[in-house]
Amino acid sequence: MPRSSLSIQRSPLKVSAVVLALAAATSAMAAENGNQRYSAGIGGSDMTTPVVPGLYFQAPMVAYHASKIKGNDGKQLTAPTPVPGLNAKVAIDADTYAILPRLTYISGHRLLGAHVGVTAMLPIVKRKADFGLTVPAPYSGNPLLVGGLNQTAAGMSGSETGIADLEISPVMHWEIGDHQSVLFAPTVIMPLGDFKANQRVNTGFGDYYTFRPSVQYAFIGDGWDLGGRAVMSFNTRNKDTEYRSGNIFNFDWQAMAFVSEDIRVGVQGYFVRQLQDDTSKNATVQASINAQGGSKASVNAIGPAVAWLMNGGEMLIEGKFMKEFGARNRTEGQAFWLTISKPL
């Protein structure tokens, strides 16, 4: 079936240094301060399923949880406090649940040897994040200090449900030989989801655009398949916050083997590397970005996958679990995925 990169999240806060440190911490699938609109790990067995002209529906569903937030040094993020050397750890309990319905049409027409088409996706998400600060002894017994810090952290917490931002893209798909294919999708993501600059958790990303070209390669072997997707995200400045997220590179990969006529098992992973510093027109926020090495995010993940190809291609159902490691300037967690793909 066809596939292209999917996306599936603040404001410059003129408040205490503690809040600025918490603002630098990212909740799952946040846009600014180290994350992006692309959902790492979304590509799976659909990357290596043969494509023919037609209309296709995909419904990836994800449940992501993170209880760690890492700083620029790869360790649990600490927050500046009124007490020098206190080393208060930023605690996070973040969950994202999302359905990413996508329609893709591949025509019988060719351009430069490729079948051409179009794809569009609009996520439906529920995001929740609870923040806190863990204060070491002997300061943990100080109710004024600890209470004030935790009250500040609690102000960053929240829960929102709704639609995220719309993405649309033309698609070009080449068959190169009997066993290989390449897909190109220059995706544009438009601000459509709800975003409030004065709150931490939102369903949308803010008033900015993302240009996200992706190139996907598939090798379909004799009983085994390899797929990879390279993605670059180029962001404009968020007009709601005057914050610009740096350009980010993603790579998703999967290796699968048939264990029966319709069941494939294998391993999948991804890595994320932000190549450019974040920037802000707010000097205080920019100072916080600089303190985190430009807030350039990175993370790796790996895990098992299993796919069921019903009736020779009538429907594809895939489940997978991926565990993140080596995170910097972002959350580190794990994700369960269930994806349904069907030709219409």
Provide the β-strand partners of residue 62: 98, 337
Is residue 12 in a domain? no
Average pLDDT for residues 124-140, to the nearest whole number?
79
Of the given ranges (126-140, 193-207, 237-251, 304-318), which has the lowest mean pLDDT? 126-140
The b/e string for 166-195 (b: 16+ C-beta within 10 A; e otherwise) is bbebebbbeeeeeeebebbbebebebbbeb
Supply the pLDDT for residue 51: 81
User: Distance between CA atoms of 21 and 91, rounded to whole angstroms?
Assistant: 12
Please report the beta strands in 78-202, taking only residues with DSSP state E, as ranges in sequence order: 78-79, 88-99, 102-111, 114-121, 124-134, 158-163, 166-175, 180-190
Q: Which CATH number characterizes residue 243's domain? A: 2.40.160.40
The percent of residues in the chain predicted with pLDDT above 70, rounded, is 82
User: Which of 58-62, 123-127, 154-158 has the least mean pLDDT?
Assistant: 154-158
pLDDT in tens, 94-107: 999 999 999 999 99
- Full domain range(s) for residue 108: 17-343
Cα–Cα dist 309/265, whole Å: 11
Note whether residue 211 is domain-resident: yes
Residue 9 falls within a domain, yes or no?
no
In a domain, 7, yes or no: no
pLDDT, tens digit, 9 for 90 and up, residues 189-222? 999 988 888 787 888 888 999 999 999 999 988 8
The answer as to whether 3 is a domain residue is no
- Model pLDDT for residues 255-273, shown as the tens digit of each residue: 999 999 889 999 999 999 9
pTM: 0.84
Tell me whether residue 1 is in a domain.
Answer: no
Count: domains in the chain: 1
Q: Name the percent of the chain lying above pLDDT 90.
A: 49
Return all residues near 84 (Cβ < 8 A) that are at least 6 apart: none
Looking at residue 76, the DSSP 8-state letter turns out to be: B
Instruction: Say yes or no to pLDDT of 10 above 80.
Output: no
